[in-house]
Amino acid sequence: AKAISSDWISDKLDIIRSITDKGEKVRYYILRHGMTEKESYLVESAFIDFLTFSDFSFVANISNIVAGHNQWDKGLKTVEEIELLYNCLPLDVKNKPHNLLCININGTYHSSADIYEITRKSWVINPNRANLADYVVAEYRGIIRAIFKVNEKGWQRVDSEENAEYFKGKSKARYYFEGNEVIDEDIRKLYLHKRLPLKRKGQANPIQYLDIIYLD
């Protein structure tokens, strides 16, 4: 901020000043993180070369580029994502006052996704057990991104006749819920952006129950 308000002259500062002078905001992204200073300079120089080399200008139009190795762990993020990754507190599993049903949405979540729609359906679950949860939480990369309260109908079975194409080849019943995102600040302070405990090795089920008693 001091550099921007000073008389220092540079192309970068001039661009930032022109943006703020228009009443607009500068958006910051972290290209890579968790590196040594030497590594960060190397990545920075490679990225600048790539952006300024005319032969690569066509890349922006390619839609099927596969994300690189460690794309989430080390990859490009907004400043807000970096803060979540490094500053979120662990969930106090033992002392929390509610039963939670955690749904992993790693495969479908992105910044513009409707997180409610991708969390609420369609899952292979025990509906009796799921209905014991006080809240459903959406987990992405081990961090709780949203909290939902299921309505009085509880978890309902997806109609296989209306969704025949979807259920082709699937033998197990699937369930969904309807409800609302929790806006109560006390509840959000307890759970939102908290880091969940690591899953046991080999545990691939996207559904995780915390303090819910099994109903047979």
* Structure confidence at residue 156 (pLDDT): 94
pLDDT band at 177 (very low <50, low <70, confident <90, very high): very high
pLDDT single digits (tens) 115-173: 999 999 889 999 999 999 999 999 988 889 999 999 999 999 997 555 555 555 556 78
Measured in degrees and rounded to the nearest 5, phi and psi for residue 165 equal -65, -40
Classified as helix, coil or strand, 38 is helix
pLDDT single digits (tens) 179-204: 999 999 999 999 998 988 876 555 66
**Token reading at 43:** 């990545």
Decide if pLDDT at 71 tops 50.
no
Residue type, 31: L
* Structure confidence at residue 38 (pLDDT): 84
Residue type, 15: I
Question: In this structure, how many other beta carbons lie within 10 angstroms of the beta carbon of residue 195?
Answer: 16
pLDDT single digits (tens) 1-49: 555 666 666 667 777 788 888 888 887 777 777 788 888 878 877 777 6
Closest by Cα among 214, 58, 192 to 138: 192
Read out DSSP for 51-77? HH-GGGGGGGG---PPP-TTHHHHS-E
Question: Rounded to two decimals, what is the model's pTM?
Answer: 0.60
Cα separation, 99 vs 211, in Å, equals: 5
Cα separation, 213 vs 161, in Å, equals: 32
pLDDT band at 102 (very low <50, low <70, confident <90, very high): very high
* Structure confidence at residue 20 (pLDDT): 83
Beta bridge partners of 123: 175
* Structure confidence at residue 64 (pLDDT): 47
